[in-house]
Amino acid sequence: MIKETSSNALNKAFLYQSCRINAALEVISGRWKALILIHIAENTNRFSLLKNVLPTISDQTLGKQLKELEADKLIVREVIPEVPVRVNYHLTAKGTALLPILTDLCDWNDMP
């Protein structure tokens, strides 16, 4: 967490206000976020299933990335009251709209 009055925080706020792409990039930045979104879109939508397809991610990092994606309204968390309690994740409309953008970014990266 950065102090609100620090030059770092002020620079970040300025960049977000000056160019909305900086704010958009902040939402999708993070080593695992794109992969998590893609797997949730493919119905790998529980913590344990995500851990199986992303075996090198730590539980702490996966939990943090899921919370950030939820806070940014790209996914929703659905608690299913069973014994034991089950949690499923689903893409929101905003998360679904991001998928073709991620594909375009991959295509752009592959350009010579």
What ranges do the domains of the chain cover? Answer: 1-29, 31-110
Q: Which of 37, 31, 40, 18 is nearest to 87 (CA)?
A: 40
> pLDDT tier at 65 (50, 70, 90 boundaries)?
very high
How far apart are alpha carbons 69 and 66 in whole angstroms?
A: 5
Task: Give pLDDT, residue 3.
Answer: 79
Task: Give pLDDT, residue 1.
Answer: 63
Would you call 6 helix, strand, or coil by DSSP? Answer: coil
Question: Could you tell me what percent of the chain has a pLDDT over 90?
Answer: 70
The fold of the 31-110 domain, in CATH, is Arc Repressor Mutant, subunit A (1.10.10)
pLDDT in tens, 13-48: 787 778 888 888 888 988 999 999 999 999 999 999
Three-state SS for 8-54 is HHHHHHHHHHHCHHHHHHHHHCCCCHHHHHHHHHCCCCCHHHHHHHC
Task: Give pLDDT, residue 15.
Answer: 78
